[in-house]
Amino acid sequence: MTTEPASAAPPPARRVDPLRERFDGRTAIVTGGGSGIGRALGAELAARGATVVLADVDLAAAAAAAAEIGPRSPGSVTAAELDVRDADAVADLVERVASDHVRLDYLFNNAGVAVGGDTAQLSVAHWDRVIDVNLRGVVHGVAAAYPRMVRQGSGHIVNTASLAGLFPSPTLVPYAATKHAVVGLSISLRAEAACNGVRVTALCPGFVDTPLLDHVNEGLPGPRPGRELLRRVPGGLYTPDALARDALDGVARNRALVVAPSVARNAWRGYRLAPTVVLAAATRTARRLLGDLHAG
């Protein structure tokens, strides 16, 4: 009597992570992609299989980021020079990328600048700088990409706002004003865009450890506050890589707002539940921060 050899067991099925698969083979533009949050978003997108264009006013930084990220990622990464204050340049980039890749699946309007300090010491030039980049830059991206996504019947616009767009932020008043505007733009467009098969998300991180913190009011006259604005931040600073992972998971889930990390979510919840208490605490924080700035 002979026995048949036992057949080899089939290999285990590959576990598919839907939060990662969402980006595989998709095309994305990330503005402000040369450093900080934008660079981290680009790296995480490429790690999830996306074709990524890192667009930045600093082409050398974007090219260096693409050269480092691309070879170690299943996706592909290229660099492009872009000043988001130039509406025509933004439209040209969106059209070029969408034409080269047949479609544009994601636009991350991420480019931003930090402007803050004692508001009494800030000039109109400070306000113009932050509005031009942080708000008009987003508007230019939406104006360029949204009509194309409507024609496609799909697409996802992700606008980088901030916890400062949801929460009182003394000594960051111009910055907070633009980020509140970005949140309002995003959630209002989201309701309209859903009628056309297009998704919109606002990313609202707490304080993230990026080079932006060392360039507050850069190139502008008057105060140049640095990281002292963020001393004793509860929970410390969030890393760009951790934010990128949380952000893309939230985008994959089609969240309206992605607020991270947990300390930022708790602060936001506290403000919604007890705004008077939080505003009183913000006033105490303002006194401390203004004292620190004036002492420096």
Q: Which residues pair with 27 in a beta bridge?
A: 51
Name the DSSP class of 16: P
12, exposed or middle or buried, with CB in 10 Å at 0-12, 13-18, 19+? Answer: exposed
Token readout for 167 is: 């929460």
- Asked if residues 178 and 127 have their Cβ atoms less than 8 Å apart, the reply is no
Tell me the C-alpha distance between 263 and 244, whole Å. 16
Name the DSSP class of 9: P
Q: Is 146 a catalytic residue?
A: no
H or E stretch including 157?
strand 156-160
Token readout for 132 is: 């031009």
| CA-derived radius of gyration, the chain | 21
Length of the chain: 296
At 147, phi and psi to the nearest 5? -60, -40
Query: Shortest CA distance to 90 belongs to which of 31, 38, 149?
Result: 31
Of 146, 175, 238, 271, which one is the catalytic site residue?
Answer: 175
**Which residues are marked as active site?**
175
